[in-house]
Amino acid sequence: MLRNLLFTVVFSVSFVMGAQEKLMMKGYVKGMTIMQTVGDDGEMALENVVHNRFDVNWFISDKFTFTGGLRNRIIIGNNVSLIPGYADYVARDNGYFNLSWVWAENTSWIGLSQLDRLMLDYTTGNLQVTVGRQRINWGQTFVWNPNDLFNTYSYFDFDYEEKPGSDAVRLQYYIGMSSKIELSTSLNSESELTSVLLYRFNTKGYDIQFLGGVFTESDYVLGGGFSGSIGGGGFSGELTYFHPMDDEDESGTATATIHYDYTFKSSLNLQFETLYNGFGAENFSSGLGDILFQDLSPKNLFPTRLAFFGSGAYDVSPLFRVMLAGMYGPEGNFMYVGPTLTYSISDTMELAGIGQYYSMDEVLDENGNPLVSSGTAIFIRFKWSF
């Protein structure tokens, strides 16, 4: 009932205010075909996705702004029937309020929607208060974000550019042009509270932040991050230390990243990033599927203890861009390679081809049978923005 009420409110606002300048609406429609092979048998799974999004900003007054974001998907293909609980998996909602729902389910296709933005923002003077489902982005690096305690996302989920939101109350007080104090508090689907205080400032060309608080009522957290430049390229990093709340004698664990990127005059862009994950596994006990589809958190950014990322992107023409990215985790020899081709048909239409290849050391189940240790996927996507 709550979901239906929120759905009605968002679109009632859109239609009622549509002719007024105080309302801004944008969105897109995407069609994507996915071809996947898993393991060495070469059996292919085919999936088609229609993905639609509406974003609404209603500027109620000089101080109040309402924002809503609705994500709709229709998924057709083998996985719907072959993977048990597939509809529940793709419709999972990690927020305190379950704002995702499956509105159609068949043996070969499902339809689902999610409100991933639904917030009211109030600004007065140097104070900004935001209440509702929102994205709290504290990350400074590109692939892995130990400081992003509220909205962890997967680099592999490239089709979700907006990234998830959390049900939170966010207080931001701006001290100057580049300094602020922020207190953000959220509840997840398990009713676990995360509350963290952040202080961000700029000095000598670097944005620096420090944070501390409680993460999901399980850990005390302390951390910090920075972003700036060295040698004409972007240089950033993050570190977060987690200490268990229920056992003060137990040692804590840290996660950290370092990132560097450089763009040449030819438009060639290179990126490099390294992750140290104190929570990573030294040896894998699961197959590739369990590793790729596990729920991520700041304590679980990647399956391995160490990970390395590199990518190169080049504009062949103003309309055509090519990119190649790769990851490697020494524990279990986890490897990922992902090429991407993007062509801009117009200002509002884009065609892309994306490839993904994964491999890792073979892992045996309890009966001695090998689990899936490799996989390949090809994505063909057309996007129209409005």
Taking 50 as the threshold, does the pLDDT of residue 17 lie above it? no
pLDDT band of residue 296 (cuts 50, 70, 90) is confident
Residues contacting 303, CB < 8 A, separation 6+: 280, 281, 284, 291, 294, 329, 331, 332, 334
Q: What is the pLDDT of residue 20?
A: 53
Q: CA torsion sign, 93 to 98 to 99 to 104?
A: positive
Asked if residue 196 has pLDDT above 60, the reply is yes
For the stretch 20-65, pLDDT in tens is 568 999 999 999 999 998 876 667 889 999 999 999 999 999 999 9
Structure tokens of 262? 């450089």
Residues 168-191, mean pLDDT to the nearest whole number: 96
How far apart (Å, rounded) are the C-alpha atoms in residues 264 and 271?
12
Whether 211 shows a pLDDT value over 90: the answer reads yes
Q: Is 161 exposed, middle or buried (0-12, 13-18, 19+ CB in 10 A)?
A: exposed
- Would the pLDDT of 8 be above 60? no
**Token pair recorded at residue 356:** 């993904």
Distance CA 45, CA 371 (A): 18
pLDDT at 44: 84
Confidence (pLDDT) at 248: 67
pLDDT computed for residue 189 by the predictor: 94
Q: Give the largest Cα separation in the chain, rounded.
A: 65
pLDDT of residue 40: 66
**Domains along the chain?**
2-385 (2.40.160.100)
Region 233-261: mean pLDDT is 92
Per-residue pLDDT band for 265 (boundaries 50, 70, 90) equals: very high
Name the nearest CA neighbour of 213 among 190, 237, 182, 238.
182
